[in-house]
Amino acid sequence: MIPYSSSLNIPFIQYLDANGEAIQQLPDWVNEKSPLIQYYRAMVISRQGDQKAIALQRTGKMGTFPSCLGQEAISAVYGSVLNKEDVLIPYYRDLSGLMARGVSLSDVYLYWGGDERGNSSPAWHQDLPHCVPIATQTSHAVGVASAFKIRQEARVALCALGDGATSKGDFSEALNLAGVWQLPVVFVINNNQWAISVSRAIQSGAPTLAQKGIAAGLPSIQVDGNDVLALHEVIKESIDRARRGKGATVIEAISYRLCDHTTADDASRYRSSEELKEAWQKEPIKRLRNFLYHRGWWDEKKEQMLKKEAETIVEKAVKTYLNTPLPSVADLFDYHYASTPKNLIEQKQKAIQRAEDRAKYNKGVH
């Protein structure tokens, strides 16, 4: 059993050190190589997709993008261990988790390219869309979990957020409600040490961010966010606990943002190269790859095959994204009202006509 704490003594769970060596007895499920290889595959593909998104932004083919570099393990795990009928409430740094839930990479590109249709494909099921405002998704999460409890459904809501979000009032209010109503929700904090340019050291005086769950009466725990084994154990048990009607959990996953906050940021202005270099030694993909090599479950041939597979998936997603026709101008007017007001219908007709006239002009039809 995971030793959750309702005291100020927050437990920290880790199975693998930075080199992928076991530092304590491993769970039985680790004897099966398939889940670990699936996690590794998900993280490698996610990282390549992430790097391509940055390239697309730099060449003017995509809007501002928040990289997940160095943080792939956290969302890869919860995206995988949630049941299909559960609901993921993501924030904006959840690429590997979204893909694990079945969302296509091209949909993610579409969204960050400014097209809301990237949030609405059937693959999203009932998961909530990307959330860019900080911490507002925590309120949505307790709302979803409340619905599950009222309907007596054995479903779980998992809310992802960054360390900066824990400083917002929305987060405290969501924790309070989750505790009072014993809701089936799991809060996973990706503590990547930076809220844009504000370091964890000056964000909060609390020794751990997990401790913020104690005031709400919630079991709270820290886990190594670069250790897939530890993440799987803690997140899965928390989800199972919520599904059994035992209430919410707060998980603080310790990671590091190896990238800029977004493509609009320059992290070299506020953090040292020495700190970044040290963090690279602890990143999750290399750690899991080393573990797989140690067990004889991975080799260079498999590594190269996976890289080629990832390249194929990413290039296909890019082609789909770039070749997706622009949405109709009518979308600016639809979906606002159950019955569209007369003045809006008139504006819509004029906008459509202007778009058609512009298209004819561009084709040389005068």
Instruction: Confirm whether 294 is a catalytic residue.
Output: no
Instruction: Confirm whether 270 is a catalytic residue.
Output: yes
φ/ψ bin of 326: left (φ > 0), alpha (ψ from -120 to 50), beta (otherwise): beta
Among 270, 354, 358, 361, the one annotated catalytic: 270
Please list, in sequence order, all residues whose beta carbon lies within 8 angstroms of the beta carbon of residue 235, skipping any fewer than 6 positions away.
77, 78, 81, 186, 188, 223, 251
- Per the CB < 8 A criterion, the answer to whether 33 and 301 are in contact is no
| Burial grade of 326 (CB within 10 A; 0-12, 13-18, 19 or more) | exposed
Whole-Å CA distances, 117 to 89, 103, 350: 18, 12, 24
Kindly state the tokens that stand for 217: 């009466």
Residues 317 and 62: their CA atoms lie apart, in Å, by 13
Identify residue 179 by its one-letter amino acid code: G
**For tokens 């996973």, what's the residue?**
188
φ/ψ bin of 127: left (φ > 0), alpha (ψ from -120 to 50), beta (otherwise): beta
Among 101, 155, 261, 287, the one annotated catalytic: 261
Rg of the chain, C-alpha, whole Å: 22
- DSSP element (H, E) containing 90: none
Among 4, 257, 287, 321, the one annotated catalytic: 257
Comparing C-alpha atoms, which of 129, 35, 121, 120 is closest to residue 87?
129
Instruction: Confirm whether 257 is a catalytic residue.
Output: yes
Which residues does the annotation mark as catalytic?
257, 261, 270
